[in-house]
Amino acid sequence: MQEKHEKKQCERCLSAFECKLGNITHCQCSEARITKETSQFLQSTYYDCLCKSCLVEIDKMVGLSKNRPFPLNRETFIEGLHYYLENGLFVFTEFYHLGRGRCCNNNCRHCAYGYSNKRAPIKSST
């Protein structure tokens, strides 16, 4: 049986990579070694394929979010972690959106869920 290899573009960072559909044990995504929590998080996103580097970054964010409660008011936001200022306005980071726990479907600049008006609805967990 011949392995299926497909050229793909990471939906998060837009880098090119090769997906080995016929041999997941040798695919770059299996080398990322993400946690069960990260795998569960990714199932709630709009993402299809991500590169190894992005999988590792997301895994780190998921791990960090377990140790930091989501800020419920502005006074508990940490600049650089939850937001940064741009022209005097708050811009929420990917970490903030991940900690929020759900996608708001507003096409946020740093959406942790990979939302885009052009994508299909989030995969159902049921």
Average per-residue pLDDT for the chain = 86
Q: Could you tell me which of 96, 104, 126 has the C-alpha nearest to residue 46?
A: 104
Mean pLDDT of 79-86: 96
Q: What is the DSSP string of 42-109?
A: HHTSS-----HHHHHHHHHHHHHHHHSPPP-SGGG--BTTTEEEETTEEEE-HHHHHHH-S--SS--T
Question: For the stretch 78-114, what's the b/e string if a residue is b when 16 or more beta carbons lie within 10 angstroms of its beta carbon?
Answer: eeeebbeeeeeeeebbbbbbbbbeebeeeebeebbbb
Q: Nearest 5°: CA angle at 110, between 104 and 112?
A: 60
Strand partners, 109: none
- What are 83-120's pLDDT values in tens digits? 999 999 999 999 999 999 999 999 999 999 999 865 55
Confidence of residue 32 (pLDDT cuts 50, 70, 90): confident
